[in-house]
């Protein structure tokens, strides 16, 4: 018997607590190079893979489970001549961790954005990131005129943030937040005076004209944009400061560019954009952001650098688009997709995708959070992390629908470990469309293919289609599973009935349920609290075993408690013939 078959509750607690400390607030550098909406904890993945290899009797020698988990994570058992498959590999945590334990890891992914992310990681150790930086700086210098302004002393300065307001249908800017900067000396903008002024008070109205700063817009009208203020960096004054936009600044802002990328389809996550009056993804960018991205993308022709720059552009869209807004409290951009949807802020901000400054020792540093320069720094940290930890990126990657690719795979797999589509909980294809349209990796035809082949629950009437899609994938995967192989599956959903629907798929495949473990699955969610933080990790196999479950003390919400209390009912349901 292996540890995976009978993990004691105390050991499960130690695994969850270790994983939480390791990556609760921030993922490891290799998992930070691009946003992914369902990133599982590397600690959970690596330790549970180790538990499939270690005999249960190994625990007889363990006195301290916390030290044991830490040891297993940093010095896991080396696996030889075994294969692992993840048919829904997404951001790739499972196949990356598996390949570094020694598995021949294979991942399948239908989403082109996730595929490009993993393709970049494979080649990252051998990439010349200095070459990428030099080319990016060259592009930035060639288009610097559209991102420059005059500082308050008249010097040429780099635009970092342009503060924007949506105009209503009558052409008036809708300023909901007049405070631009918090702190001891707060910065305010009054649209009636058209002035920026500082105060050490929390103002409810303009000190000059009495204009109210407590507006209650029942509904923002998303018409044209109005740039009213700028944050800049002046290299001559060596300072960041704020100013009102001038007519010259506004002419630069309203740059003439192409006006089409991809028509916004009516999907679960995009409905909000269509309701607001948007029709094409190009409308989520300012003209000069789009111009800048186009110049950057066109400057890289050869692989793997062309894929890498697409990933850098894609990741920067969270902050360099109209989905982002400026926080007066934190004095930086709050990125889009924080709440996993196309939420339009009432007052967006334009971040310069290529704003940077050069230090005295020649180092390049980003001006503004989350632009392309910031992304390149994440690439460098990830590359250094791979070198320092001596990680292997030798997993095999397949792009396309799992139900098609599985028919072409050969040989047997010892482990199938996956995090399948969560029904109607998250729609990754919808969330990826903006990025894919900007980096020219999707068109109406490929979108149609994606929507036809994806396994997702768009509405409750599609439940049978969703279940049949999963059944088809796991039926094909089961043909590739060795006789003593295991299937590990993580899943959660606020609608607990859907969890029963999921495991019923495996019940109909005549697989035996070996164990259920609640494991930490979601990150901290600093800006938006989650309903559920725990996943249920299911262990299935061909061998007949008495199902086992353990609970953990790592509860975060009442839904986590309810999810744990569901395990006994799930086992009873599965065992009921």
Q: What are 121-143's pLDDT values in tens digits?
A: 999 999 999 999 999 999 999 99
The 10s digit of each residue's pLDDT in 458-469 is: 988 899 999 999
Structure confidence at residue 461 (pLDDT): 87
Q: How many CB atoms lie within 10 A of CB 461?
A: 8
* Percentages (nearest 5) of helix, strand, coil residues in the chain: 40, 20, 40
The 10s digit of each residue's pLDDT in 532-560 is: 789 999 999 999 999 999 999 988 889 99
> How confident is the prediction for the chain on average, in pLDDT?
93
Structure confidence at residue 259 (pLDDT): 79
The 10s digit of each residue's pLDDT in 63-91 is: 999 999 999 999 999 999 999 999 999 99
Residue 253, phi then psi, degrees to nearest 5: -65, -40
| Averaged pLDDT, 274-282 | 95
| Averaged pLDDT, 350-371 | 94
Q: Which residue has the tokens 């308050």?
A: 152
Q: Are 561 and 555 a contacting pair, CB within 8 Å?
A: yes
Q: What angle do CA 25, 30, 35 make, to 5 degrees?
A: 65
Residue 527's pLDDT band (cuts 50, 70, 90)? very low
Residue 336's pLDDT band (cuts 50, 70, 90)? confident
Structure confidence at residue 218 (pLDDT): 79
Most confident of 100-109, 169-178, 252-261, 452-461: 100-109
Structure confidence at residue 300 (pLDDT): 93
Choose the weakest-confidence range: 62-66, 80-84, 160-164, 528-532. Answer: 528-532
| % pLDDT > 90, the chain | 86
Tell me how far CA of residue 66 lies from CA of 14, 63, 523, 569, in angstroms: 5, 9, 21, 30
Q: What angle do CA 266, 268, 273 make, to 5 degrees?
A: 60
Look up residue 72 and give its two tokens.
């297993």
Structure confidence at residue 122 (pLDDT): 95
| pLDDT exceeds cutoff 80 at 102 | yes
| pLDDT exceeds cutoff 50 at 178 | yes
């Amino acid at each position: 018997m292996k540890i995976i078959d009978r993990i004691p509750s105390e050991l499960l607690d130690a695994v969850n607590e270790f994983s939480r400390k390791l990556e609760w607030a921030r993922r490891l550098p290799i998992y930070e190079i691009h946003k992914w909406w369902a990133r599982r904890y590397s600690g959970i993945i690596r330790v549970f893979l180790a538990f499939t290899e270690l005999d249960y009797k190994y625990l007889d020698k363990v006195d301290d489970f916390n030290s044991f988990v830490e040891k297993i994570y940093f010095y896991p058992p080396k696996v030889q001549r075994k294969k692992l498959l993840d048919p829904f590999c997404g951001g790739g945590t499972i196949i990356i961790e598996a390949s570094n334990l020694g598995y021949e890891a294979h991942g399948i992914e239908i989403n082109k954005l996730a595929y490009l992310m993993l393709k970049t990681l494979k080649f990252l150790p051998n990439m010349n990131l200095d070459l990428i930086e030099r080319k990016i700086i060259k592009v930035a210098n060639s288009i610097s005129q559209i991102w420059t302004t005059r500082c308050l002393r008249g010097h040429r300065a780099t635009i970092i943030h342009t503060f924007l307001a949506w105009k209503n249908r009558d052409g008036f800017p809708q300023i909901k937040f007049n405070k631009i900067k918090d702190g001891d000396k707060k910065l305010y903008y009054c649209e009636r005076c058209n002035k920026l002024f500082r105060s050490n008070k929390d103002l409810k109205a303009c000190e000059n004209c009495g204009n109210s700063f407590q507006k209650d817009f029942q509904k923002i009208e998303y018409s044209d944009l109005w740039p009213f203020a700028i944050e800049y960096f002046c290299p001559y004054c060596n300072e960041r400061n704020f100013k009102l936009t001038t007519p010259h600044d506004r002419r630069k802002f309203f740059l003439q560019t192409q006006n089409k990328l991809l028509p916004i389809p009516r999907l679960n996550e995009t409905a909000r954009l269509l309701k607001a009056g948007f029709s094409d993804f190009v409308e989520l960018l300012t003209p000069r952001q789009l111009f800048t991205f186009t110049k950057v993308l066109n400057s890289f022709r050869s692989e793997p650098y062309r894929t890498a720059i697409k990933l850098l552009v894609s990741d920067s869209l969270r902050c360099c688009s109209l989905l982002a807004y400026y926080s007066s409290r934190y004095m930086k951009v709050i990125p889009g997709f924080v709440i996993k949807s196309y939420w339009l802020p009432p007052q967006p901000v334009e971040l310069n995708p290529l704003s940077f400054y050069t230090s005295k020792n020649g180092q390049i540093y980003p001006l503004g959070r989350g632009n392309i320069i910031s992304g390149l720094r994440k690439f460098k940290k990830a590359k250094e992390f791979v070198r320092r930890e001596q990680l292997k990126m030798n997993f095999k990657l397949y792009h396309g629908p799992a139900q098609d690719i599985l028919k072409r795979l050969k040989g047997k797999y010892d482990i199938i470990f996956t995090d399948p589509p969560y029904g109607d909980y998250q729609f990754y294809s919808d969330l990826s469309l903006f990025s894919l349209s900007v980096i020219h990796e999707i068109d109406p035809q490929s979108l149609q293919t994606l929507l036809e082949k994806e396994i997702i629950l768009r509405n409750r009437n599609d439940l049978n289609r969703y279940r049949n899609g999963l059944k088809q994938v796991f039926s094909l995967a089961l043909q590739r599973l060795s006789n003593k192989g295991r299937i590990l599956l993580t899943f959660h959903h606020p609608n607990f009935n859907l969890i029963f629907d999921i495991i019923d798929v495996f019940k109909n495949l005549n697989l035996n349920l070996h164990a259920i473990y609640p494991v930490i699955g979601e990150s901290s969610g600093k800006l938006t609290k989650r309903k559920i933080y725990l996943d249920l990790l299911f262990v299935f196999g061909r061998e007949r075993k008495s199902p086992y479950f353990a609970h953990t003390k790592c509860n975060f919400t009442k839904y986590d408690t309810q999810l744990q209390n569901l395990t006994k009912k799930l086992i009873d349901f599965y065992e009921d013939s």
